[in-house]
Chains A and B, each alone.
Chain A
Amino acid sequence: MEDVSAKFVSQKISRTRWRPLPAAALQPPDLFATGSWDNEDNRISIWSAGDLGNADLNGEYHGEPHLLCDIQHNGDVMDMQFLDQERIVVASSTGTVTIFRHHQNNQTLSANHRWEKAHYHVDQDTSCGGAACTGVVCNNPEIVTVGEDGRINLFRADQKDAVRTIDNADSSTLHAVTFLRTTEILTVNSIGQLKIWDLRQQRNEPSQIFSLAGDRVPLHCVDRHPNQQHIVATGGQDGMLSIWDIRQGTMPVSLLNAHEAEMWEVHFHPSDPDHLFTCSEDGSLWHWDTSTNVSEKPSFLHQGGRSTAYLSHSTINQSVVSAWLSNDPTKDRMEITNLIPNQTLSVNSLDVLGPCLVYGTDAEAIYVNRQLFA
């Protein structure tokens, strides 16, 4: 039986994020943050995933998530990410980017730093209005944000002003951003393009543009394979999952029919990238599993009888062509499960870390699944 606990929180959830674990940690993640949208009073909240101390003999955890602390946030939370163990970067629909600090000793949240109107419109009457900041990505201490104004900002957590701003980087709305390498970022926009930007170059042009053929379906989310950096997954307005190989071509390697409506987030599992998770406006959350055929692969790749299953698994992963890039549809190598059968309202966000999954919905509920691979 799946161990999912739910909690209704009286606010529509736009983002859920696990707090990253310290490098040497072995225990599963215990804290996560959520952000709300479309409320008169939006909030950033920190939750404890449930009573970890009270695991019973079967290792099952009980208890629903409970609120540790929260703080008011101006505007919808459009995106957020943990900068480190204590700090969260939050993108607002007002165009402001804020770093919140979570004080763990007294369980409070406070605004640590704020870039007002990092994203803005210059309208015809020359007055400045904030434009929604739609995406944020951090690689401590660097923070990159993108927005509806087509602007890309590069901040450093310790500096007051933006390190670099690319005005008019995109003529349409930028929906999401992620790091490709430490100096390169990937953005997706509302006309179906995936762009690579090299932040070392002073030119305000993308170094490469990939695009969907034909219908210019807007792309809403992007994630990069954690080990094989050339593999990129994006999710579009039509619910289609696209896998791109940025070493070659300008078109996606494979297009996988997925959800019936906007795909809001896509995430490779950070330590087990054969697994991918997507969630959508249609109220479903899918688990894509390409690991099922690992055992069928030639055994000479094993490093010897003594290596653990997990190790041999990861070596295979790096030695052969990734299952994500094989565009052979005849082989039934991908196992797809919908983790939410009867949800009707949008699942706006998900995050995976270790064996744990957290997701939040427009039905004002957050769900924690602690045994993803059970």
Chain B
Amino acid sequence: MDESDTEPPLVVVPGADPSARQLCFAWGPAEVLVCETLFGRAGGSRSRAGAAARALTGSVAGTGEGAPSSSLVFVVRRDQDIYIQTLRKLFNESHGIFMGLQRSEEELAGKSRKAQLVQVSKNYRSVIRACMEDMHQAAVSTRDPALQGQYSTQVSILSAMELIWNLCEILFVEAAAAGPLLLRLLDWVRLHVCDVDSMVREVLSSESPSKHKLFWNVVDVFVLQGRMDEARHLLSKEASANPTSMNMYKILDDLMKKMPVPSLGNSQTLTELELKWQHWHEECQRYLQDGTFASNPHMESICKILLGDEDAILEKKELMTTWYHFLVTRLLYSHPTVKPLELRFYAQSSMDLFLGGESSPEPLDMILMAAFEFEMHQVIKECSIVLSNWWFVAHLTDLLDHCKLLQSHNLYFGSNMREFLLLEYASGLFSHHSLWQLGVDYFDHCPEYGRVYLELHIERIPLSTEQKALKVLRICEQRQMHEQVRSICKIMAMKALRNNRLGSALSWSIRAKDAAFATLISDRFLKDYCERGCFSDLDLIDNLGPSMLLSDRLTFLGKYREFHRLYGEKRFPEAARLLLTLMTAHIAPCSFWMTLLTDALPLLEQKEVIFSAEQTYELMRCLEDLTAGNPDKQKFQDDDVETTKVEMLRLALARNLARVIVKEGTVEGS
């Protein structure tokens, strides 16, 4: 692809005034933030402000209101079509077709594969058409003239897209050979040149069509579009009204009936067709020279058209409306067996003849011309520049790529063209507040950069509800994007924590296997317990199961709660054993030992002896470790309550020891 393009259109940011102040900007994934700076306008800064705007083909999406202009930040979006409500149908439905195409294995060889691809192409087109109809309905039903204008613009854009797509389908996807090619092109013209349809309807629905002033125009339209049967039908009406010139009508009717046309089947070879055609051509020539139709200028001109007389055809310019109609008519009557590669010559000369130097070709003409010239890349490039969305080029390129037509082509940037365009399109989808889900699948089918793009985009999806978070999470988990899974869970855990939903926060950090965060939350639980003397969220803590092992602190929390349950169920020996293990196995954090020892106090004071001598020694050691190991003795001495607690514990331990020695001695002695 050549280096330079035409100068992209300038985007005017309404509300911003680049002539007074310099603008600054920052790139986003699919948008640009633009704001006015405090700096006045100095010479030479034009290029900088222009650069922001140049890369954009979109419009301003949102501005603040009422504030002084320097405090505004503008969001300039690139792919404005994404935001059109009616087009969402196009995006969603074509997403399904796209996925089907990616899934379809290339095992089908030759013809059936081609038939499959043509079907896919037709499906895409029918979606465009359906969307066009909806848009048209919307345009008709709305009363707001501005909106109506907007809808009509969209309708014409969609119809141009369909026109281009259809031509690409004939030339590239189906790659029709000489013969059928012409038939396809005729269908194409009939489908898209519909300006004359209303005229045809008017004439046909009038009481006596042959008396209508537009009668001959309609006959000409039929002939120009190769709709011979319809033209003959109309002519027969005129003939019956004009018995005098009956003979003339019969001859013309006969000529039209006999005109050889290419067949879709393989029943006749091209040479056969050419022979027949030559013969028929000579017959027409003869009648024209005879002056058979001299008395009726209308019929004479039809005969000239049948002979492929360019001037005669060009006279009907108004009825054809476009140069490509002229091209197809010309081919029909002078080169019915045109080969695909010869198209370019006829196309170029047809356009020149038709426009006749009066008007210059428009972008659409250039695109169609490029298609006739089989310059696929040129088609895609022109479309990318002209159309306001990436949808068209992304899907068309993908289809052509599946036809194996684009393989040799590499870009000097990024990966291949298909992937580049898909990435652009999908990025646009991701910038939309609700179409982002579609973008995921497109990224999936970009082998080189898709994943990186997805990783960057998915983290930026705002997580408004847990359900949305779950959906995003599922996307990440299916693709083994561990980093993103962790990050999403962490965001959700933080949110829950801020909302004082410790249980939820813990669930999220368990899901992310985030040990550090689980520790943090466990500490919050323990702190709450110390303050209130009871546990919150028992239903969760009692049901931790294997996830308890995620972090030491969480294990401690679970076990500590288990101790309370055992104690509550009066299973004292088990409770005592657990309590001691928590300390000796260093599961409990040191800061919590005092609480644990205090919890041991009622067990020590029970009527029956619960701690064995050995266990009592262990407890005593724990207590001494705690008091001795703490260099900050000051704290204990200052705090009367703490000192009393320690004293009480020592006393209780001593008494328990005494009782247990007696008991154990007695049991052994007896």
Q: Which of B23-31, B85-93, B302-310, B367-375 contacts A (4 or more CB under 8 A)?
A: B85-93
Do A171 and B539 touch (CB < 8 A)? yes
Q: Which of B159-167, B196-204, B540-548, B595-603 contacts A (4 or more CB under 8 A)?
A: B540-548
Do A39 and B434 touch (CB < 8 A)? yes
Verify if B482 is at the interface (C-beta below 8 Å from A).
Answer: no
- The residue that A364 contacts in the complex, of B92, B498, B536, with Cβ under 8 A, is B92
Q: Which of A16-24, A127-135, A223-231, A266-274 contacts B (4 or more CB under 8 A)?
A: A127-135
**Chain A residues with CB below 8 A from B465, complex form:** 76, 78, 93, 132, 148
Do A172 and B504 touch (CB < 8 A)? yes
Which chain A residue lies CB-closest to B89? A8
Verify if A262 is at the interface (C-beta below 8 Å from B).
Answer: yes
Return B538 CB to nearest CB of chain A, in Å: 8
- The residue that B501 contacts in the complex, of A37, A149, A281, A362, with Cβ under 8 A, is A149
Verify if B466 is at the interface (C-beta below 8 Å from A).
Answer: yes
Do A124 and B96 touch (CB < 8 A)? no
Do B546 and A214 touch (CB < 8 A)? yes
Do A123 and B500 touch (CB < 8 A)? yes
Q: Which of B293-301, B350-358, B467-475 contacts A (4 or more CB under 8 A)?
A: B467-475
Do B437 and A362 touch (CB < 8 A)? yes
Task: Sort chain B's interface into a size bin.
Answer: 35 or more
Which residue, of B96, B465, B470, B536, has the highest number of chain A Cβ atoms within 10 A?
Answer: B465
Complex Cα distance A121/B465, Å? Answer: 13
**Chain A residues with CB below 8 A from B471, complex form:** 262, 281, 346
Do A344 and B464 touch (CB < 8 A)? no
**Chain A residues with CB below 8 A from B543, complex form:** 191-193, 211, 216
Do B89 and A132 touch (CB < 8 A)? no
**Chain A residues with CB below 8 A from B503, complex form:** 150, 170-172, 191
**Chain B residues with CB below 8 A from A343, complex form:** 96
* Chain A: interface residue total (CB-CB under 8 A): 50
Complex Cα distance A343/B99, Å? Answer: 9
Complex Cα distance A218/B539, Å? Answer: 14
Do B434 and A190 touch (CB < 8 A)? no
Verify if B378 is at the interface (C-beta below 8 Å from A).
Answer: no
Return B126 CB to nearest CB of chain A, in Å: 13
Contact mask for chain B residues 459-498; partner A; CB cutoff 8 A; 1 contact, 0 none: 0000011111011001000100000000000000000001
Verify if A12 is at the interface (C-beta below 8 Å from B).
Answer: yes
Contact mask for chain B residues 530-573; partner A; CB cutoff 8 A; 1 contact, 0 none: 00000011111001011100000000000000000000000000
Which residue, of B99, B100, B437, B546, has the highest number of chain A Cβ atoms within 10 A?
Answer: B437
Do B501 and A150 touch (CB < 8 A)? yes
Return B136 CB to nearest CB of chain A, in Å: 16
Do A363 and B470 touch (CB < 8 A)? no
Return B600 CB to nearest CB of chain A, in Å: 28
Q: A10-B86, A171-B502 are in contact. Are A281 and B93 (CB under 8 A)?
A: no
Complex Cα distance A173/B507, Å? Answer: 9
**Chain B residues with CB below 8 A from A170, complex form:** 503, 539
Complex Cα distance A218/B536, Å? Answer: 20
Verify if A372 is at the interface (C-beta below 8 Å from B).
Answer: no
Do A172 and B540 touch (CB < 8 A)? yes
Which residue, of B99, B499, B537, B546, has the highest number of chain A Cβ atoms within 10 A?
Answer: B499
Do A171 and B537 touch (CB < 8 A)? yes
Verify if A339 is at the interface (C-beta below 8 Å from B).
Answer: no
Do B466 and A237 touch (CB < 8 A)? no
Do A344 and B467 touch (CB < 8 A)? no
Do A148 and B504 touch (CB < 8 A)? yes
Do B474 and A281 touch (CB < 8 A)? yes
- The residue that B539 contacts in the complex, of A39, A78, A122, A193, with Cβ under 8 A, is A193
Which chain B residue lies CB-closest to A132? B465
Return B533 CB to nearest CB of chain A, in Å: 17
**Chain A residues with CB below 8 A from B89, complex form:** 8, 10, 364
- The residue that A214 contacts in the complex, of B467, B499, B545, with Cβ under 8 A, is B545
Verify if B441 is at the interface (C-beta below 8 Å from A).
Answer: yes
Verify if B607 is at the interface (C-beta below 8 Å from A).
Answer: no
Do A148 and B466 touch (CB < 8 A)? yes
Verify if B404 is at the interface (C-beta below 8 Å from A).
Answer: no
In chain A, positions 31-76 with a C-beta closer than 8 Å to chain B are 37-40, 76
**Chain A residues with CB below 8 A from B434, complex form:** 11-12, 38-40
Return A105 CB to nearest CB of chain B, in Å: 23
Complex Cα distance A216/B539, Å? Answer: 12
In chain B, positions 425-466 with a C-beta closer than 8 Å to chain A are 433-434, 437-438, 441, 464-466
Q: Told that A10-B86, A37-B467 touch, could you supply 9 new A-B pairs with CB distance under 8 A?
A: A8-B92, A8-B93, A37-B468, A38-B433, A131-B499, A149-B499, A171-B539, A216-B543, A342-B99
**Interface positions of B (Cβ within 8 A of A):** 85-86, 88-89, 92-93, 95-96, 99-100, 103, 433-434, 437-438, 441, 464-468, 470-471, 474, 478, 498-504, 507, 536-540, 543, 545-547
**Interface positions of A (Cβ within 8 A of B):** 8, 10-12, 37-40, 76, 78, 93, 121-124, 129, 131-132, 134, 148-150, 168, 170-173, 190-193, 209, 211, 214-216, 218, 237, 261-262, 281, 342-346, 362-365
7 intermolecular pairs with C-beta atoms under 8 Å apart: A123-B499, A124-B498, A124-B500, A192-B543, A281-B474, A345-B438, A346-B437
